[in-house]
Amino acid sequence: MQPKSFQNGAPSARAKCVFPDDASRDSKREKPKTIQQFVQRYPHVLTKIKEAGGLATAEQAAVILRDAVERRKNYSDWVLSKYQGDAMRAVGSALRVIR
């Protein structure tokens, strides 16, 4: 039995074809590496981290987010005191608490 989208041997109008160009475009998007790239790409997330941690600048929040993405320990006062340096837990908590 053929899948519903290929009944009678032809794809339906709703069937989506994925071409190599489309797939490679998504895989080419690189993770941000610099603090400024994080600030430019994730302003809303950084605002939530900044508010949760009582941080003064978006750059401080970007350092925490970068460490979370790279699974590194973070040494900011807020993350060390509340999450024992676990940046991933700090970011997760900031994104869950403040909406």
Q: How confident is the model at residue 32 (pLDDT cuts 50, 70, 90)?
A: very high
Residue 45 burial by Cβ neighbours in a 10 Å radius (0-12, 13-18, 19+): middle
Instruction: From residue 74, give the alpha-carbon distance in Å to each of 33, 42, 66.
Output: 16, 19, 9
- Give me the pLDDT at residue 31, please: 87
Higher pLDDT residue, 97 or 66? 66
pTM over 0.75: no
80-91 pLDDT, tens digit each: 999 999 999 999
